[in-house]
Each structure stands twice: as structure tokens, then as C-alpha cells.
Amino acid sequence: MRYSKSLEYAVKLTPLDIKKQEFKKALRGYDFVEVEAFLEVVADEFEAIVREKNQLSDEVLKLRTQLKDYRQVEDSLKETLVNAQENLSSSRENSKKEADLIIRDAELKADKTLEESRIKLEKLKNDIVIIRAQKESFARRLRHLLESQMELIGVLELDDTGYNENTLSQNETDQLNKGENSSLKRIESSTTQSSRIKINDKADSDSLDDTAKRDAGKNTKLPRIKNQYLT
């Protein structure tokens, strides 16, 4: 193989080309042995350089691949970070909205509870006023009833002081005692019924007054019986 100064051959030159390179022989030319030895050394060095170049090229390719992977990872991390920030902002906003809703709901419930408590308190106050009024009314009715009964008892006692049982026959005395006992039983029954009247039942209070009036009317018959026997 002949040596050429062409750039194309220089670029494509290989260690084997260097080793097989042949030169023209001329009179008083270079020593053939020295030239061969030099070419051998040059070929070895060139081979080492080519080997190193290939290794570097492989490393560069590997590094480029790694760099590409790193860039992809970086882009993925950036995207993940952006999504995380967006999610965090959204989560904070949702949490704030939820907290506001919870607070608002609690405030509404508290207002409702306070309003219900206020209404119940007003109702209790009104009930207390009504119960007190019914109590006073019942006390007045009961006092009036007791006063009527006491007046009736006083009348009976006055009649007894002016009445002489010795002037009556035994049969008349028994009938008189029987009438008095019946009147006393009616008085006790009326008193017992009045003690059972409910405070908040107006109809029962009116019935109690009617019963007392009827008993009082019946009890007034006792002096008539006495006068009848006396005459």
C-alpha cells in the first residue's frame, strides 16, 4: 500500500495502514530497518490513541445517555414538585373552606340552641306565672270554702246551745243525731274532695265550689229539722 498525502487517507488512516505502508526505494535513501521500526512504534501509538478515542466516545455516549436520563428525572421531579405545590394549595384552600363551613355550622347550631333555650325559659316563666295565679286562686277558693264550713259549724253550735234533747223522745233524738252525722259526713267528704283538686284544672275548681254550695244548702236543713222537732 502506497502512502498518500491526501486528507481523506489521513483521516481514515489505521494502525494497520501505518504498519503496511511502503515507501519508494531510492539511492542513498532512509534506512529501511529504522523506517520499519519507526512505523511500528507510530502504529502502536496510533492504535492506543484510537483505542482511547473509542473509549472516550463510549464514555461520552454513556454520559450523554445518563445526562438525558437525569434531565428526564429532573423534568419529572419538577413536574412532581409543581403538582405537589398545586395540590398543597388546593388542599389548603379546601381545608380552609371546610373549616369555615364547620365553624359556620357550629355557630348556627349554637344560635339555634340559644334561641330554643330562650323560648323554653320564657315558657317556663309563663308557666310559673300561671301556676302561681292558679295557686292563689285555689288558695282563695279553699279559704272561702273553709270559712263557709266554719260558719256552718258555728251555726250548728249555736243551735245546739239552745236545744234541749231531754224534751224529745228517744226516736226523735235518734233521728236528729242521724241527720247531724249525715251532715258531718257530707262536710268531711266535701273537704276531702277539695284537697284532691289539681292546681291547673279550672273545671275541677268550679266543681268543688258547686259541691260546697250544695253541701251548704243541705246542711241548712238541720236547723229546720230541729225547729220542726221543737215545735
Angle value at C-alpha 179, between 174 and 183, nearest 5 degrees: 145
> What's the mean pLDDT in 10-27?
66
Q: Give the three-class secondary structure for 174.
A: helix
pLDDT greater than 60 at residue 64? yes
What's the pLDDT score for residue 118?
Answer: 93
Do 68 and 146 lie in one domain? The reply is no
Q: What pLDDT, on the 0 to 100 scale, is given for residue 109?
A: 93
Cα 62 to Cα 83: distance, rounded to the nearest angstrom:
31
| Dihedral-angle region of residue 28 (phi above 0 means left; psi in -120 to 50 means alpha; beta otherwise) | left
Count of domains for the chain:
2
Mean pLDDT of 212-222: 46
Residue 203 falls inside a structural domain: yes
Question: For residue 102, is it within any domain?
Answer: no
Q: Give pLDDT, residue 39.
A: 80
Residue 173 lies in a domain: yes
154 domain residue, yes or no: yes
Look at residue 83 and tell me if it is in a domain: no
Rounded Cα gap, residues 205 and 217, in angstroms? 19
Query: By residue range, what is the domain housing residue 163?
Result: 132-230
Q: Quick check: is 34 in a domain?
A: yes
Residues 48 and 45: their CA atoms lie apart, in Å, by: 5
Of the residues 75, 99, 121, the one at which a domain ends = 75
In the listed set 75, 93, 111, which residue is the last one of a domain according to the structure?
75
pLDDT at residue 226, rounded to an integer:
41
- Average pLDDT of the chain is 73
Domain-located, residue 103: no
Q: Residue 69: its pLDDT value, please?
A: 92
Q: d(Cα 94, Cα 87) in Å, to the nearest integer?
A: 10
The model's pTM is 0.33
25 contacts 41 by C-beta, under 8 angstroms: no
**What pLDDT, in 10s, does the model give residues 135-147?**
999 999 999 999 8
For residue range 96-105, list pLDDT tens digits in order.
899 999 999 9
C-alpha cell belonging to residue 110: 349554637
Judgement on whether residues 139 and 218 belong to the same structural domain of the protein: yes
Between 201 and 4, the higher pLDDT residue? 201
Tell me what pLDDT residue 11 has: 47
Q: What is the mean pLDDT of residues 185-208?
A: 49
- Note whether residue 221 is domain-resident: yes
pLDDT of residue 3: 40
Mean pLDDT of 173-183: 54
Q: Is 129 buried (19+), middle (13-18) or exposed (0-12) by CB count in 10 A?
A: exposed
Tell me how far apart the alpha carbons of residues 92 and 55 are, in angstroms, rounded to a whole number: 54
CA distance 5 to 73: 49
CB 99 within 8 A of CB 106: no
Give the model's pLDDT for residue 1: 40
